[in-house]
A = this chain, B = another copy of it.
C-alpha cells in the first residue's frame, strides 16, 4: 500500500463505507420498520411508540408496576412514567396503588385499552409478517438465531479497557 500523506484522498484514510457498516444498516432497518408500524396507529389512535410498548406488556402481564414495565420494555423509567400519564389520562390504562407498598403502582389495561390493543396488535403482527415475507424459511430461522446471539450477553467484558464514558446499562432489557 502506497502510504503517502496526501490526505486529500480518501484512500489514505480508510473511510468507513456507511452502507456496509453493520450498525448503520441496523439503524436504517430498525427505523424504517418501526416507523412503518407506528404510521399505522399513531395518527389513528394518537398513540406513541412508547405508549404502545407499555400497552403491549400490560396486555401480557397485568398488575405490573411502572418499574417492571420499564424493565420489560427496555425503556427508561421517565419515558414509562410519561407514557403512563398519557395512557391513564386517555382512559386506556387503570392505575392503582399497591397494597403494602404505596410507592408502587398497579397497572392494567382498561376496557378501552383492550379495544385499542386488539386492533393494534394484529396490525403490528401483520407488519412483521410482511417484513418476514421478504425472507425464505431458512433466512427467517437464521435471523432469529442471530438476533438471539447478538442480543444475548450485553458485552463480553474485557479488562484493561479505558472507558471514559462507560455508563451503566439498563438492567434486564432482553433476558
Contacts and interface: CB of A to CB of B under 8 A. Distances in A.
Interface of A: 2, 7-8, 10, 13-19, 21-34, 36-37, 39-40, 42-44, 53, 56-57, 59-62, 72-74, 108, 111, 114-115, 117-119, 121-128, 130-135, 139, 142-143, 145-147, 149-156, 164-167, 169, 171, 173-175
Contact of A10 (B33, B60, B139): B60
Contacts of A117: 13, 15
Given A62-B10, A166-B39, A73 B146 contact: no
Contact of A131 (B23, B115, B123, B165): B23
Given A43-B164, A118-B173, A56 B23 contact: no
A45 B168 CA distance: 13
9 contacts: A8-B62, A14-B118, A25-B147, A27-B34, A28-B74, A29-B151, A32-B173, A118-B174, A134-B156
Nearest to A57: B18
Contact of A115 (B62, B169, B173): B173
Which 3 pairs from chain A and chain B are nearest by CB?
A15-B59, A30-B30, A142-B142
Copies of this chain present in the complex amount to: 2
B18 A53 contact: yes
Given A56-B18, A139-B149, A167 B8 contact: no
A15 B60 contact: yes
Nearest to A53: B18
Given A53-B18, A150-B131, A28 B164 contact: no
A22 to B, nearest CB: 5
